[in-house]
Structure 1
Amino acid sequence: MPAKLNPASKPSPASARDLPSTGRLITTAELATHNTPASCWLAVRGKVYDVTSFLDRHPGGRDLLLFAAGRDATQVFETYHQFKVQGTLPKYLIGDLADNELPVFPAPSPFFVAVKERVYEHLRTNVTSDPKWAVGMWVRYAGIYSMVVAAWYAQLWVWPQGGWAQWLAAVVLGFFCAQIGLNPLHDASHFAVTHSPWVWKLLGATHDYLNGASYVVWIYQHMLGHHPYTNIPNADPDIATNEPDVRRIKAVQPWYKHYLHQEWFVPVLYGVLSIKTRIQDVTILYTLKKNDNIRINPLTAWHEAVFWSGKAFFVFYRLVVPVVFAGLSVGRTLALFLVADLVSSYWLALTFQANHVVEETKWPEPNERNEMSIDWAEMQVATTQDYAHDSAFWTIATGSLNYQAVHHLFPEISQYYYPMIAPVIMKTCQEFGVKYLVQRTFWDALGSHLKYLKVLGLNTHEEDLKKKEAKAQ
């Protein structure tokens, strides 16, 4: 194990912001126009870099830079690189960022530096292979894809006459389609499986073809939105709401009468997640061109082809094949589709909600200049809840998201190693006074989500918040 690091003893790494001013101010509006292969700019720590010439030499592939282009990519850059990599940036420097489109964070704190240093040292000491490589994960992927094919085939040709077995096959299909989202898709979207951009692309494409939902939209929502800005209103797409919305999950949302008892009806609505996602894919990419406040850059030919062919194949294998080739009625086909979709939706939605939308997690907000006062790594722990660390079932069945704080701090590491590095992170949190939330079971975590919905649904909640704020002052 690495030697103990005193919280105050190690300074934060040199920041890109420490570079001298170029004398050229670039607004976020101007930066946003440089988001193509012909002109690829991005910002890190208040400095703007033209990385167009680096696109084809980037070790992570050109797609990653094109996703990040035209925006402040500080948190993504610092998450997926060691701090020393900042030394490669100055040669591409072209200007200073004049304003903040989305929240910006202080330079990495001693906690962030220490936890990153200790986890990688622990992996170097205890893991002989690359932390992006684990044979066990490929076995898991193979099992997931095999079960999707087997369950789909069984409901059409093994038990085509109906009965409980056919419905069971639909349930199994839905569960393992959700596992595609929690495992190969999720791992690929964080580049946590091998160092090959083509592996990430191909694994991501299976989500398009087998689930009918877009890998590209997920990248923008999850990797560029949710992870950098976890639980921050108007920045994290995962907590985006309308006015009014079907549910109240943020204290900043005005209260309406229909929020009363939302803990009873909102979880039922989670069943439409899959259908809602497939429809929103189209509106996000081609109508809105943004997901909440995360802008969508122009698609490459590859991603556009995968998007539309994925939608077409999904309709073909889930709706056309059962009727035309397996001889099922339209009604039976739609019913089986709905059962599988409900299972997928509930499994995914409840897994995600139990991690962030719960009683004890924080909902940080920036000041009027879009500046955050909390360190980014500390915020990841504060906005996240773990559960069931001692359960192999929940670790496998949730794609290791029962170690959500571990995942948010180290998304680039294979989930296979989360149980190994969790004690290192928890010990570092304890040393630095960072509260680490973990529930004993999944049901405790889910219960916390339902209790949170209940509290936010009460019309007294805003008054309680005002009283707490007044008392704090």
Structure 2
Amino acid sequence: MGKGGEKDDCPPRAAFKGSPKKRWVVDGVSYDLTPFLAKHPGGPDFLLWSANRDISIAVHTYHKDPERTVLPLLRRYRCEEPPVKSVKRLMGVPQFLLPPRFDAVTDTPSYDWGPGTFLADLVKEMARPAVARAVEAADAAFDRHALILLFMYGVIVSAWLSCVLRPSVAAIALILLRTALAGAGHSFVHRPKSPWGALFDFNYVGHCTTAVDGHALLHHGYTQTEADVKRGFFGGMMGVARAYRVPIHTLHKLGHVVTGCLVRQVDLQLERDAEEHQGVEDLKRALGLGNWAHVGFWAVHVCLRVELYVAWRQGLRWSWLFQFIGSLWLNTLLVVSSHDFDDLGDESERDWAVFQLAETHDMSITGWPRLDCWLSAGLAPHRAHHLLPYQRSAYANIASEPAIRRVCERRGIAWDPPKGLGSEILPVVFRRLFAPACDPATREALYADAVAEHASWRQLAYCVSYVGAGVCGIGSI
């Protein structure tokens, strides 16, 4: 099923009415994994987010040996429903993140997972004892360095809010530390049941709870295809007139910081509770406090709001705004620079790992891989990260690069050097950021000229609604 796959022998979607039951599709077969939710070693969140989707890519890429470990286990949960009945058209995500008329049954790609694929060869290479030891040591070093950075963050914030450290120095230090901690969270989001994924939110850009789905599952699985929700990251702001875009998006994200992310989190937890427990029995369950990942979310977001309150009370308003705007826009530009989102990948490529190599690039800032890892919010070693999404840290991605390059050499695939952030990446990003206002879905121009773009009542109404959406938690990633 899907693009490039064989046609399913099942009735058309219109023949099925009503909301589908929770089902998961793997390699063209439907499964009812509801009894397995509590047993899933990675915790229930990954499965709950991906209910009523084709999860073939996640099964084959987040498990080192799915043929031996996962697929035999799935057989006991097999059901006879046609896959087309099991899959939600929009995969359970908002329409504005996907192209118009998107249908997951026909518009998601399918890939080959046989023994001769790039990923199969890479898994064998990664299993070599020397490589495995290097990756394990890299993970341990990454955890130590992340802990040191978190400690430094606590020291800087304490010195700043107690007026011991100059506000300008503190603001610059916080921009760098927030970016680095978001890089740590970027890796931790890929780990099962980890509360440390909440560090992803320290840069004011992300929302770690939805990142489990939007980033780890939908972006990594469907990079540069119509199902890649990260392609819509710039979406909402692109409807804003170019001269208003930066200040209006800043206000939109300020709304997220003040109330939006909290509203979105409670809404998600109430929705999840209604699905799993048929009613909210207590506040602990409604807020997700029985789940360590959600505990991490609340810890980080309470911290962010206490910082804001104390900074305002201490007369550090401008310092707080400077570090907020700096952190927000540095990390926004880093996120958007991680792929060439303007163009879709080659849909004829059936080898998933080869497709990932073609559609991702590494990033260089200083030329020192581990330092670049922190300065880029974890996006510098990007190709290895996409080929091995189950890895636990960006340092592991760096340690894995020699093994990946050996497989590339055997297959005659060129390994492109990292792109320079300032010289190659940001000029392209800035051209897109300040392009004329366009429809987020179709990318067609909304106005005939610059005067109409900036002076219409339609534009004013859109700006107001966009800021309001931030306050309500709409648009967080």
Shared fold (TM-score, shorter chain, > 0.5): yes
Residue pair 1:386, 1:405 contacting (<8 A) in 2 also:
yes
Q: Quick one: which of 90, 106, 127 aligns to 1:121?
A: 127
1:141-188 superposed Cα distances (whole Å, 9 cap, x missing partner):
11221121111111122437xxxx2211122122212222111x2122
Deviation for aligned residue 1:417: 2.3
User: In structure 2, what is the equivalent of residue 86 of structure 1?
Assistant: 71
Q: Percent identity?
A: 18
Counterpart amino acid of residue 376 in structure 2: T
User: In structure 1, what is the equivalent of residue 84 of structure 2?
Assistant: 98
Q: Quick one: which of 383, 390, 395 aligns to 1:412?
A: 390
User: In structure 2, what is the equivalent of residue 173 of structure 1?
Assistant: 174
Counterpart amino acid of residue 74 in structure 1: S
Residue pair 1:211, 1:314 contacting (<8 A) in 2 also:
no
Counterpart amino acid of residue 197 in structure 2: G
Local SS of the residue matching 1:356: coil
Report the Cα distance in structure 2 between the residues aligned to 1:42 and 1:352, rounded to whole angstroms. Answer: 30
1:97-117 superposed Cα distances (whole Å, 9 cap, x missing partner):
026632131222633334432
Local SS of the residue matching 2:24: strand
Report the Cα distance in structure 1 between the residues aligned to 2:182 and 2:224, rounded to whole angstroms. Answer: 21
Residue pair 1:226, 1:236 contacting (<8 A) in 2 also:
yes
Counterpart amino acid of residue 321 in structure 1: V
Residue pair 1:356, 1:383 contacting (<8 A) in 2 also:
yes
Residue pair 2:183, 2:200 contacting (<8 A) in 1 also:
no
1:134 aligns with 2:139: yes
1:21-72 superposed Cα distances (whole Å, 9 cap, x missing partner):
9x9999998897445xxxxx31112211112222232222223222222322
Distance 1:155 1:286, change over 3 A: closer
Report the Cα distance in structure 2 between the residues aligned to 1:32 and 1:169, rounded to whole angstroms. Answer: 52
Deviation for aligned residue 1:382: 1.8
User: In structure 2, what is the equivalent of residue 385 of structure 1?
Assistant: 361
Aligned Cα root-mean-square deviation (Å): 4.4
User: In structure 1, what is the equivalent of residue 309 of structure 2?
Assistant: 320
1:112 aligns with 2:91: no
Residue pair 1:208, 1:310 contacting (<8 A) in 2 also:
no
1:71 aligns with 2:89: no
1:221 aligns with 2:227: no
Deviation for aligned residue 1:94: 0.5
Report the Cα distance in structure 2 between the residues aligned to 1:114 and 1:436, rounded to whole angstroms. Answer: 18
Deviation for aligned residue 1:237: 3.4
Deviation for aligned residue 1:410: 0.6
Counterpart amino acid of residue 351 in structure 1: L
User: In structure 1, what is the equivalent of residue 288 of structure 2?
Assistant: 301
Counterpart amino acid of residue 383 in structure 1: E
User: How high is the TM-score relative to the length of structure 1?
Assistant: 0.68
User: In structure 2, what is the equivalent of residue 403 of structure 1?
Assistant: 381
User: How high is the TM-score relative to the length of structure 2?
Assistant: 0.67
Deviation for aligned residue 1:246: 4.3
Local SS of the residue matching 1:173: helix
Deviation for aligned residue 1:348: 1.6
Counterpart amino acid of residue 158 in structure 2: Y
Residue pair 2:186, 2:378 contacting (<8 A) in 1 also:
no
1:441 aligns with 2:420: yes
Distance 1:175 1:272, change over 3 A: farther
Gaps of 5+ in 2: 90-103, 277-285, 445-477
Deviation for aligned residue 1:273: 8.2
Q: How many residues align?
A: 392
Choose between structure 1 and 2 for higher RCO, CA contacts under 8 A separated by at least 6 residues.
2
Q: Quick one: which of 416, 426, 429 aligns to 2:408?
A: 429
User: In structure 2, what is the equivalent of residue 340 of structure 1?
Assistant: 323
Report the Cα distance in structure 1 between the residues aligned to 2:419 and 2:130, rounded to whole angstroms. Answer: 29
Deviation for aligned residue 1:395: 3.0
Residue pair 1:351, 1:398 contacting (<8 A) in 2 also:
yes
Report the Cα distance in structure 2 between the residues aligned to 1:383 and 1:425, rounded to whole angstroms. Answer: 16
Distance 1:434 1:274, change over 3 A: farther
Tell which deviates more after alignment, 374-383 or 174-183.
Answer: 374-383
Deviation for aligned residue 1:456: 7.2
Deviation for aligned residue 1:398: 2.4
Deviation for aligned residue 1:133: 6.9
1:343-393 superposed Cα distances (whole Å, 9 cap, x missing partner):
2223322322222037xx851386xxxxx7543222222221113394232
Report the Cα distance in structure 1 between the residues aligned to 2:433 and 2:409, rounded to whole angstroms. Answer: 31
Distance 1:375 1:97, change over 3 A: same
Tell which deviates more after alignment, 96-105 or 450-459.
Answer: 450-459
Tell which deviates more after alignment, 399-408 or 278-287.
Answer: 278-287
Counterpart amino acid of residue 60 in structure 1: G
Residue pair 2:182, 2:200 contacting (<8 A) in 1 also:
yes
Report the Cα distance in structure 1 between the residues aligned to 2:413 and 2:134, rounded to whole angstroms. Answer: 30
Distance 1:423 1:449, change over 3 A: farther
Report the Cα distance in structure 2 between the residues aligned to 1:374 and 1:455, rounded to whole angstroms. Answer: 35
Residue pair 2:373, 2:380 contacting (<8 A) in 1 also:
yes
User: In structure 2, what is the equivalent of residue 245 of structure 1?
Assistant: 238
User: In structure 1, what is the equivalent of residue 344 of structure 2?
Assistant: 363
Gaps of 5+ in 1: 1-16, 36-40, 192-196, 248-257, 290-295, 367-371, 463-473
Report the Cα distance in structure 2 between the residues aligned to 1:221 and 1:140, rounded to whole angstroms. Answer: 27
Local SS of the residue matching 2:400: helix
- For 1:197-212, what aligned pairs fall within 5 Å after superposition? 197-198=192-193, 200=194, 202-207=195-200
Distance 1:363 1:307, change over 3 A: same
Q: Quick one: which of 45, 58, 64 aligns to 2:40?
A: 58
Residue pair 2:346, 2:355 contacting (<8 A) in 1 also:
no
Report the Cα distance in structure 1 between the residues aligned to 2:141 and 2:254, rounded to whole angstroms. Answer: 31
